Amino acid sequence: MHTSALNHLSEIILTLKESGVDFIVCGGVALVVQGVERLTMDIDLSVDLSRVNLKKFLGAMHKLHLKPRAPVPAESLLDPATRKMFVEEKHALVFTFVDPDNPFRQVDLFIADSLSYNELKDDSELIDIANQPIRVLSRQKLLALKQAIDPPREKDLFDIRMLKKLLSSQEEEA
């Protein structure tokens, strides 16, 4: 990753950790942490959507000066019915927070049930990031999620090839 990307991504991860948020790093950052060499600027997160944890998450977003991309108050995420409406009516999988002064500082929060913290926790592992144990989605689950994308983009096909290669070499070592 580019140094500035690494810095703002580490800042986001460490702020969430310091705020006591239960979260799983997913998407491109998880791919990089799991050994796929690729560029990523934003961070995809699965966060425990309990009210207490979401309040901690929203506090971390405020501390990071990240604001909802959509013209919707961040606190609307606290209401399960509103989140359900975002998914069902707006076809949203994520709720995006962005830095108005630096659009590369972006957090995509998974709001779809299939990508919830409780759904993904068993498919995650603790990995050291910036000297902190951080929950990251496993290579196997990343591969399954990438293979489920229809139609896949070119970067998804690349990620699938790289994950299969990493998993194959992991099996050979075992």
Summarised one tens digit per residue, pLDDT across range 40-60 is 889 999 999 999 999 999 999
Q: Token match 């509103």: residue?
A: 82
Q: Which of 6-10, 79-83, 169-173 holds the top average pLDDT?
A: 79-83
Q: What is the pLDDT of residues 65-92, one digit of tens each?
A: 999 999 999 999 999 999 999 999 999 9
**Span 95-103, mean pLDDT?**
94
Q: How does strand 124-129 pair with strand 43-47?
A: unpaired
Query: What average pLDDT is seen over the chain?
Result: 93
- Cross-strand pairs, 125: 136
Alpha-carbon distance of 172 to 166, in angstroms, equals 10
Note the Cα 52 to chain centre separation in Å. 19
Q: Which three-class secondary structure state does DSSP give residue 50?
A: coil
**% of the chain beyond a pLDDT of 90:** 86
pLDDT, residue 1, reads: 39
Q: Class assignment of domain 3-138?
A: alpha beta
Alpha-carbon distance of 59 to 164, in angstroms, equals 38
Alpha-carbon distance of 113 to 152, in angstroms, equals 21
